[in-house]
Amino acid sequence: MFEPAERVKRLPRYLFAEIDRKIREKVAQGVDVIRLGIGDPDSPTPDFIIKRMESEAGRPQNHNYPPDEGLDEFKQAVADYYAERHQVELDPEREVLPLIGSKEGIAHISFSFIDPGDLSLVPDPGYPVYSIGAQLAGGEPYYMPLTEENNYLPRFDRIPADIAARAKLLFLNYPNNPTGAVAGPEFFEEAIAFARENNLLVCHDAAYSELVFGGLRPLSILEIPGAGSVAIEFNSLSKTFNMTGWRIGYAVGSVGALEVLGRFKTNIDSGLFKAIQRCGVEALTNPARDSFIDSLRGLYSRRREIVIDGLQRLGWPALASRGAFYIWAPVPAGYSSQEFVTRLLDETGVVVTPGRGFGEHGEGYFRIALTVGEDRLREAIERIGKSVRFA
Ligand SMILES: *Cc1c(COP(=O)(O)O)cnc(C)c1O
């Protein structure tokens, strides 16, 4: 009756629909389903942020429209946080743009820069918003394979010159969802040089910036000299402070790019609830911040070891995930990722995500989200062990 627009009709089919149906079926049968599918923190937002919301929610001066460009105090808090954590100096006025969650900015950056015929270079496997944003804006994604053999870092030397010439945006994401890979400064230097040669805007998605393990230090792409003129970094309070439902993130970096993104988005949204921005200030500046982040890192680090050790005992090779809260593992021989995930759910009640859902190069893998407690993870490994072995 009401015909959807072409751009909506072209949206990819929801790859997890079949698994969602199966989960509902299992739950209805009374199966104790262990959900390691969705990457949404299971722990609550820390108390010092909740307390701030309790007082901010009641202040009438928070109840009207916020300024379009965001609250000065939130932008200042982001700038101070980058100075302290990354030794990156940002002008809070022009180099920080608050977002209604980073996903909002990641989607809108494509509308801000992509015209029909333009390309975005996007990682495969990757967070789907990069490619869908390009498509919705009338352009197209060009997929850069992330493979085990290249440590899940794209090879810029494999991108054809005519593709690079048509591309306007280069999306990167480290620590990486779904592979758990981490990038070092040499890789970011290479990305910036490639972007400069080809006149690309680098869009680095740093949603998991604080979640690195094994003694690694969180790294911002803006730490690379010269990055601020060709790159923006998306960051978020979602994963760092267990605030996925609050919708608060930001972009930092290139003044020119942020001006364009800000101009676009202020025509569509009216910013973030001021009380939430003030809670963002609390998250980024409270004296308990660093100990909270350390404890969060400890929590995921212990879970990560349980899964990596557990899978290794079941014959899986040593898994290299070093960041984010995901384990990326190969499926046993003879299965597609979808078949393996379906069998696992059927035989064990454990839900994981098929790698194919993140792109063609995700085929042959599955993703485990470390967003349930240690006992449930041990139980999941035990159940998996009764059903399958890797080799
Ligand atoms: C969770 C996630 C985000 C964003 O989250 P917001 O809640 O929108 O800030 C962005 N990128 C990746 C790769 C994610 O996994």
Cβ-contact 34, 357 below 8 angstroms: no
Share of the chain above pLDDT 70, in %: 99
Residue 352: partners with Cβ closer than 8 Å, 6 or more residues away: 36, 37, 341, 344, 366, 367, 368
Residue 242: partners with Cβ closer than 8 Å, 6 or more residues away: 41, 43, 44, 45, 46, 296
Atom 12 of ligand 1, residue of closest alpha carbon = 207
Cβ-contact 57, 50 below 8 angstroms: no
Q: How confident is the model at residue 11 (pLDDT cuts 50, 70, 90)?
A: confident
- Per the DSSP assignment, residues forming a β-bridge with 114 are none
Domains within the chain, CATH numbers bracketed: 6-44+290-387 (3.90.1150.10), 47-285 (3.40.640.10)
Q: What pLDDT was estimated at residue 140?
A: 97
Share of the chain above pLDDT 90, in %: 94
Centroid of ligand 1 to alpha carbon of 38 (angstroms): 12
Taking 90 as the threshold, does the pLDDT of residue 18 lie above it?
no
Residues 120, 139: Cα–Cα separation, whole Å: 8
Residue 257: partners with Cβ closer than 8 Å, 6 or more residues away: 109, 112, 113, 201, 232
Q: Select from 45, 100, 127, 235 the residue to mutate for testing ligand 1; criterion: most ligand atoms less than 8 Å from CB.
A: 127
Query: What tokens does 298 get?
Result: 């400890």
Residues 273, 339: Cα–Cα separation, whole Å: 43
Q: What pLDDT was estimated at residue 244?
A: 97
Cβ-contact 50, 245 below 8 angstroms: no
From the number of C-beta atoms within 10 Å of its C-beta (0-12, 13-18, 19+), residue 391 rates as exposed
- Phi and psi at 300, nearest 5°, equal -70, -30
Burial 262-294 (b: 16+ CB within 10 A, else e): bebbeeeeebbbbbbbbbbbbbbebeebeebbe
Centroid of ligand 1 to alpha carbon of 25 (angstroms): 29
DSSP alpha helices (H): ranges in 167-250? 185-198
Residues 199, 19: Cα–Cα separation, whole Å: 41
- Per the DSSP assignment, residues forming a β-bridge with 171 are 203
Arithmetic mean of pLDDT, 193-222: 96
Q: What pLDDT was estimated at residue 16?
A: 73
Alpha-carbon distances of 135 from 41, 140, 147, rounded to whole Å = 29, 5, 24
Centroid of ligand 1 to alpha carbon of 2 (angstroms): 32
Centroid of ligand 1 to alpha carbon of 114 (angstroms): 21
- Ligand 1 atom, smallest distance to 126 CA: 13
Closest CA to 233 of 169, 173, 156, 152: 173
Taking 70 as the threshold, does the pLDDT of residue 69 lie above it?
yes
Centroid of ligand 1 to alpha carbon of 362 (angstroms): 19
Arithmetic mean of pLDDT, 125-136: 96
pLDDT tens string 276-316: 999 999 999 999 999 999 999 999 999 999 999 999 999 99
- Phi and psi at 326, nearest 5°, equal -130, 150
Centroid of ligand 1 to alpha carbon of 254 (angstroms): 20
Please state, rounded to an integer, the average pLDDT across all residues of the chain: 96
Q: What pLDDT was estimated at residue 15?
A: 65
Taking 80 as the threshold, does the pLDDT of residue 4 lie above it?
yes
Secondary structure letter of residue 135 according to DSSP: H
- Ligand 1 atom, smallest distance to 205 CA: 11
Angle made by CA atoms 98, 99, 102, in degrees to the nearest 5: 125
Residue 171: partners with Cβ closer than 8 Å, 6 or more residues away: 120, 121, 122, 123, 126, 130, 203, 205
Q: Select from 124, 146, 204, 205 the residue to mutate for testing ligand 1; criterion: most ligand atoms less than 8 Å from CB.
A: 205
Arithmetic mean of pLDDT, 220-229: 97
Using a 6 Å CB cutoff, which residues line ligand 1?
39, 101-103, 127, 173, 177, 205, 207, 236, 238-239, 244, 249
Centroid of ligand 1 to alpha carbon of 373 (angstroms): 21
- Ligand 1 atom, smallest distance to 104 CA: 8
Q: What pLDDT was estimated at residue 47?
A: 98
Cβ-contact 288, 45 below 8 angstroms: no
Closest CA to 358 of 105, 176, 156: 176
Arithmetic mean of pLDDT, 219-246: 97
Arithmetic mean of pLDDT, 220-245: 97
